[in-house]
């Protein structure tokens, strides 16, 4: 049985209703695919504190988490992921790249123009349907 990793990701919208998208670096697993920023939930952490910690570490800014937006399970070749996307708002600082190759703010209707990590696609689909 493949190891299942619980991961949280932030859907952060700016004042123009654009969503923050980050590109996985060539050194990361699932390289050169777009994703919503976030990371693994550590043992003993709740989803919201895990996401706030991950965004602080990955993007050097602070968010306030809101409601869970989407949850799905995706199986990759060597592992499985339980991805929980949570809506969040930026409360301090500006996102700054530390691990990812690129980041962009995109309107919901343009999200499907990117090549997404497979686990993120259900949340992308749900966001674009909400327009």
Please count the structural domains in the chain. 1
- The residues, ordered by sequence, that sit 6+ positions from 127 with a Cβ below 8 Å of its Cβ are 11, 19, 69, 108, 111
| In the block, residue with structure tokens 């949850």 | 71
Strands 62-75 and 38-40, by their bridges, are unpaired
Beta pairing partners, 4: 80
Confidence of residue 60 (pLDDT cuts 50, 70, 90): very high
CATH number at residue 28: 3.90.79.10
Tokens encoding 131 = 């327009």
How many angstroms separate the CA atoms of 93 and 116, rounded?
26
pLDDT tens-digit profile of 24-59?
A: 999 998 999 999 999 999 999 999 999 999 999 999
Per-residue model confidence (pLDDT) at position 75:
95
Range of the domain at 103: 3-129
Q: How many helices (H) and strands (E) does the chain have?
A: 2, 7
pTM of the model: 0.95
Beta pairing partners, 102: 23
């Amino acid at each position: 049985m493949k190891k299942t990793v619980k991961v949280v990701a932030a859907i952060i919208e700016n004042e123009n209703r654009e969503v923050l998208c980050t590109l996985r670096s060539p050194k990361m697993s699932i390289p050169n695919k777009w994703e919503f920023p976030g990371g693994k939930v550590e043992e003993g952490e709740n989803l919201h504190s895990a996401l706030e910690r991950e965004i602080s570490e990955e993007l050097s800014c602070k968010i306030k988490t809101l409601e869970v937006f989407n949850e799905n399970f995706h199986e990759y070749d060597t592992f499985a992921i339980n991805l929980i996307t949570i809506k969040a708002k930026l409360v301090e600082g500006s996102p700054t790249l530390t691990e990812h190759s690129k980041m962009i703010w995109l309107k919901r209707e343009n999200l499907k123009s990117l090549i997404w990590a497979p686990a993120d696609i259900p949340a992308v689909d749900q966001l674009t349907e909400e327009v």
